[in-house]
């Protein structure tokens, strides 16, 4: 039980050292992730479509 208490006290000490994002920074980072995921998904989808059509032409 003593080691568990020591562990959590050390965790809280370390969490005080963390540099937390502000609300605005978190929102901006979230939008960047959403937009990047959208564009990456679109790129992968278009690439898959084009490559499957090319492969279909080659196989015929």
Interacting residues of 21 by C-beta distance below 8 A, sequence separation 6+: 29
pLDDT in tens, 9-36: 999 999 999 999 999 999 999 999 999 9
The stretches of 1-60 forming alpha helices (DSSP H) are 2-17, 23-59
Quote the pLDDT of residue 60.
Answer: 81
Q: State how far the Cα of 49 lies from the Cα of 56, in Å rounded to an integer.
A: 11
Under the banding of pLDDT at 50, 70 and 90, the label for residue 58 is very high
pTM for the full model? 0.65
DSSP summary character for residue 21 = P
φ, ψ (nearest 5 deg) of residue 33: -65, -45
């Amino acid at each position: 039980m003593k080691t568990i208490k020591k562990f959590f006290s050390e965790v809280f000490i370390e969490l005080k050292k963390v540099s937390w994002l502000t609300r605005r920074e978190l929102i901006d980072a979230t939008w960047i992730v959403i937009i990047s995921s959208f564009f990456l998904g679109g790129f992968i989808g278009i690439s898959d479509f084009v490559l499957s059509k090319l492969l279909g032409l080659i196989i015929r």
